[in-house]
Amino acid sequence: MAIGSVAFKYSRKLGVAPRLCWDSDVLHSAFVPSGRIPLPGGLSNTRLDTTPELWLGCRRFGSVPPSTDVTYEQLKKLLAGSKSVVIDVREPWELREYGAIPGAINIPLGQVNTALQLGPEEFNEKYGGELPQQVDNIVFTCLAGIRSKTALDMASELGYKEVQHYPGGWQDWAKNDQN
């Protein structure tokens, strides 16, 4: 049996104490038969909360990471439904020379980190779109998927939760969009 992840719950009395998040098929009793965990300093034990709603904020560290890749078909659906912010991290000259995915905001890779930390008005003024919120679905794209993966990593480090990239990039888009 595998533990899904470890989270930390803050308590003013106890400081930071580790809490376990289990996968749905793992029973708490397999790891802590009494349902209690020992606390440092001889403090009394605390019952583990096992209700799912208390674990919603728990980050999973399972062996299978969620997919961050988006296919051409998935990206078309996301754009049609306005369910994502698409950010093209190529340089402006590349968009002029090769073309751009309709609806994508252009933020060159070297500016992504700074851009995602701007205020909404400044972001809109500089990039001509709405600043994505940390809970928005963002899809990064570039020419062939290398820079978009780097941008995805940057956004993740800034706390963005729903980040993906289109590994085929503009090359794949142009090939599929002609069909």
Task: State the catalytic residues.
Answer: 142
Amino acid in the structure at residue 34: S
DSSP label at 22?
E
String of DSSP letters for 121-137: HHHHHHHSSPPPPTTSE
Is residue 38 within 8 Å of residue 129, measured between CB atoms?
no
Helix H or strand E encompassing 78: helix 72-80
- Number of C-beta neighbours around residue 156 at 10 A: 12
Distance, in Å, from the CA atom of 115 to the CA atom of 133, rounded to the nearest integer, reads 12
* Tokens, residue 74: 């998935």
Contacts of 105 (CB under 8 A, 6+ apart): 85, 86, 87, 88, 127, 128, 129
